[in-house]
Amino acid sequence: MSAAPRFARIAIPSPLPRHFDYRLIAGDPVPAPGTRVRVPFGRQELVGVVLGVTTQSDLPRDKLKSIRRSLDSEPLLPATLMELLVWASAYYHHPIGEVMATALPVMLRRGLPATAAGEKRYVLTEAARRLPPDALKRSPLQQRLVQVLREHAEGLSAARLAEVVKNWRDAMNRLTARGLIRITEEQCLPPRLAGQHIAPQLTAAQEQAGAAILAASGKFQCLLLLGVTGSGKTEVYLRAIEEVVARGDQVLVLVPEIGLTPQLVTRFEGRLNAPVAVMHSGLNDSERLCAWQMARTAQAAVVIGTRSAVFTPMPKLALVIIDEEHDASFKQQDGFRYHARDVAIKRARLENLPVLLGSATPALESLHNAQQGRYQLLSLPERTGAAQPPRVTLLDLKRLKRNEGISPPLIEALQERLTRKEQSLLFLNRRGFAPVLMCHDCGWLAPCKRCDARLTLHRDVRVSREAGSRERPIHQRSRKLRCHHCGAEAPLPVTCPACGSGNLHGIGEGTERIETALARLFPQARIVRIDRDSTRRKGSLEEKLRRVHAGEADILVGTQMLAKGHDFPNLTLVGVLNADQGLYSADFRSEERLVQQLVQVAGRAGRADKPGEVLIQTHHPDNPAFAAIAHHDYREFGRYALAERQTAQYPPFAHLALLRAESPKPDAALAFLRAAHGHAQNLMEAEVVHLMDPMPSPMERRAGRYRAQLLVAAGTRKALHDFLSVWMAQLEAEKLGHRVRWSLDVDPVEMY
């Protein structure tokens, strides 16, 4: 017989990259992996997750503290999910405690009880909160209950109350009768709408794709659904989900941050005869806990969520779908830098189930995997109904004069749409009025004081045209300089700080300037601008989209916020104002991103009965990226872009990790990276990886901090990870590391 375990390995939310051992409470049941415990940690008490129990600890027994209390009688995180989290911690080289914390809703991280969803909670009413302290002094039990509930604004369940106040029921009934207590029963799921939306008759290609997904049931298999915009990918998802849910199983649907619109959720709820839970960053803590509980108890058949929903426990999970799988928002850019798509694929492997990636413009990595036969490729080559792909024309800016960024052929096309009472969309991935403020006498450019960047000129004209009122823009007062990197704001100088001239002008175009130019060119047109600035207020994006759908807008101007997900049946013209922003950049992914954006935005033009037209303004009409867009052949782009990646040995032909450091002191970050580089060269493992020289980041100073980076590349994942494991241990011990903030980004998406 093996010895009884005496210690538990606990993941504790701490930046230290390891777990901690604690003594078990003698006489208590041995805590299961995936349950939470309260433990003393330094001078605090923290909530940790049990990773496992052991009979031995590396630390001497008298050095070990004891667990204070077990919080759960059963695991909150099932075994496969624990395995996934441990894997993610190792793969992304991020502390296990912080990884575990990512998987738990905030309220559970704080140690609140994981009450079953639908359980009653007792909450103080306003009247009870206003009671003077000694109001209940003649009934100590009632007084005690009010006291306890004051500390728990979200209320407590019967089970929790019983733990803290003995014989509480009678007192509680009396408080309730006096109107001092409200009993709530949490309703986490939105009302069922099933039957409100009717499924269309699927096309043969859709049927085939749906059948292929279902045929993969019960085993690990990656499928890539490559479907041009408007080809009906969502219908394929819904078909597959219906079947899985009908069998009593669960489906996880991951969508990009801006893809999770109320319209999408309504579409899913309206079609599926099953409860849907939604998870995104806009939920408050108790809504999030609620949705999580519905998923964990399988009361929700479908979970739709953004990035972090990939860690939701779902006991009957049978299918994972990742919509717009190429979207950059699946990668977390700070802290625990995981990629939700890659984690989802690992999860599907561990749980032995199919995972479907869908996109009109898949990441080159995914396309490559499909070409290599690792993913099963499903394709929807045509738009549904009679819809023709839009005609794409390139407008050569070398030969065309522009009126505030808009060339004559584009102006003509806009005029045509106005006459025909159709809608147009102008796409420009640059918000603000002008990206630079310049002195025309001495060439001074307004800089950000804290970044190596220029300030953007903003002129919020939203007060006038957008509301459709007759008010004039309040020019001087609403003008501002703003840094798009650190958020700093500065007033517009009246004269040039360098030479004193008053000859200051905004150079180049942002969405605000285009909006103003359009108002001048087409005084009768109703213009709607959609970008981060114009949609800051809650509900304003929805209101703008409503106006577009209701036909209360003629021209939309906007950034990538407009590029996907929206279906505007009366929109027949898409103009791309400056397609060159992503070409020839330092980041090897910038061209891929540009093509993805342009294909998505072009996909907004034309639906069934109205053919669409796309006009792209560029200085480089011969760039092959545009040819692929004009031919509606993303795979054509994929072929030559992948060939380029192979020549340059970039992903997917190499595996990367980026070590970043930053400090308010000019040279500290580079000094640390040089030391890191030195350590690496002394390692055996360094022979199989390729280390670049440490260098300042492309924008070295941001928000007052100097930044530098070191890129590591390897031919195989294994080589990279063998190296990183040894190297990271050395970096933890490197003294220069204490003077900077540093982090490792495995499979980086942003290269600076």
Q: Where on the chain is the footprint of ligand ADP (CB under 6 A)?
A: 200-203, 206, 227, 229-235, 384-385, 567
Whole-number minimum distance, CB 19 to Zn ion, in Å?
39
Indicate the residue among 206 and 709 with the shorter CB distance to ligand ADP: 206
Whole-number minimum distance, CB 569 to ligand ADP, in Å?
8
The position carrying tokens 């003294």 is: 735
Contact present, 417 and 423 (Cβ < 8 Å): yes
Burial 264-289 (b: 16+ CB within 10 A, else e): bbebbbbbbebbbbbbbeebeebbbb
Indicate the residue among 239 and 707 with the shorter CB distance to ligand ADP: 239
Q: Which two tokens stand for residue 256?
A: 């990009």
Whole-number minimum distance, CB 606 to ligand ADP, in Å?
12
The angle formed by the CA atoms of residues 530, 535 and 538, to the nearest 5 degrees, is 150
Whole-number minimum distance, CB 381 to ligand ADP, in Å?
12
Whole-number minimum distance, CB 211 to ligand ADP, in Å?
14
131 contact, one of Zn ion, ligand ADP, none, CB 5-8 Å limit per kind: none
Whole-number minimum distance, CB 485 to Zn ion, in Å?
5
623 contact, one of Zn ion, ligand ADP, none, CB 5-8 Å limit per kind: none
59 contact, one of ligand ADP, Zn ion, none, CB 5-8 Å limit per kind: none
Under rule CB under 5 A, residue 442 binds Zn ion: yes
Whole-number minimum distance, CB 589 to Zn ion, in Å?
24
Indicate the residue among 440 and 717 with the shorter CB distance to Zn ion: 440
Whole-number minimum distance, CB 610 to ligand ADP, in Å?
14
Indicate the residue among 501 and 716 with the shorter CB distance to Zn ion: 501
Indicate the residue among 161 and 496 with the shorter CB distance to Zn ion: 496
Indicate the residue among 264 and 283 with the shorter CB distance to ligand ADP: 264
Under rule CB under 5 A, residue 448 binds Zn ion: yes
Burial of 434 (0-12, 13-18, 19+ CB in 10 A): buried
Under rule CB under 5 A, residue 444 binds Zn ion: yes
Query: Which helix (H) or strand (E) covers residue 692, if one does?
Result: none
Under rule CB under 5 A, residue 498 binds Zn ion: yes
Burial 107-139 (b: 16+ CB within 10 A, else e): bbbeebbbbebeeebbebeeebeeeeeeebeee
Indicate the residue among 80 and 570 with the shorter CB distance to ligand ADP: 570
Indicate the residue among 209 and 691 with the shorter CB distance to ligand ADP: 209
Whole-number minimum distance, CB 242 to ligand ADP, in Å?
14
385 contact, one of Zn ion, ligand ADP, none, CB 5-8 Å limit per kind: ligand ADP
Size of the site for Zn ion (CB under 5 A): 15
Q: Is the link from the previous residue into 664 a cis peptide, with omega within 30 of 0? A: no
**Residues in CB range of 222: below 8 A, 6 or more apart:** 345, 348, 354, 355, 357, 369, 374, 375, 376
What Cα–Cα distance (Å) separates residue 462 from each residue in 433, 474, 580, 721?
12, 10, 27, 51
The residue type at 301: A
Neighbouring CB atoms inside 10 A of 104's CB total 21
Footprint of Zn ion on 166-225 (CB under 5 A)? none
What is the rounded distance in angstroms from the CA atom of residue 275 to the CA atom of residue 266?
12
What is the rounded distance in angstroms from the CA atom of residue 230 to the CA atom of residue 560?
17
Under rule CB under 5 A, residue 152 binds Zn ion: no
**Residues in CB range of 297: below 8 A, 6 or more apart:** 116, 117, 315
Whole-number minimum distance, CB 394 to ligand ADP, in Å?
24
442 contact, one of Zn ion, ligand ADP, none, CB 5-8 Å limit per kind: Zn ion
612 contact, one of ligand ADP, Zn ion, none, CB 5-8 Å limit per kind: none
Of 499, 507, 608, 643, which one interacts with Zn ion (CB under 5 A)? Answer: 499
Which positions from 457 to 486 touch Zn ion by CB under 5 A, shown as an x/- string? --------------------------x-xx
Indicate the residue among 360 and 744 with the shorter CB distance to ligand ADP: 360
315 contact, one of Zn ion, ligand ADP, none, CB 5-8 Å limit per kind: none
What is the rounded distance in angstroms from the CA atom of residue 646 to the CA atom of residue 365?
12
What share of residues in the chain are helix, strand, coil (percent, to 5)? 35, 25, 40
499 contact, one of Zn ion, ligand ADP, none, CB 5-8 Å limit per kind: Zn ion
Helix 79-91 vs helix 96-103: angle between axes, to the nearest 10 degrees? Answer: 130
Helix (H, G, I), strand (E, B) or coil at 574: strand
Indicate the residue among 468 and 569 with the shorter CB distance to ligand ADP: 569
Q: Give the DSSP letter string of 582-639.
A: GTT-SSTTHHHHHHHHHHHHHTTS-BTTB--EEEEEES-TT-HHHHHHHTT-HHHHHH
* Nearest-10 Cα torsion for 220, 226, 227, 228: 160
Q: By C-alpha distance, which of 513, 523, 517 is closest to 457? A: 513
507 contact, one of ligand ADP, Zn ion, none, CB 5-8 Å limit per kind: none
Whole-number minimum distance, CB 587 to ligand ADP, in Å?
27
229 contact, one of Zn ion, ligand ADP, none, CB 5-8 Å limit per kind: ligand ADP
From start to end of 33-138, where are the E strands?
36-41, 44-54, 69-70, 120-124
The position carrying tokens 């219908």 is: 235
485 contact, one of ligand ADP, Zn ion, none, CB 5-8 Å limit per kind: Zn ion
Whole-number minimum distance, CB 665 to Zn ion, in Å?
18
What is the rounded distance in angstroms from the CA atom of residue 589 to the CA atom of residue 363?
10
Whole-number minimum distance, CB 489 to Zn ion, in Å?
10
- Give residues in contact with Zn ion (CB under 5 A): 439, 441-442, 444, 448, 450-451, 483, 485-486, 488, 496, 498-499, 501
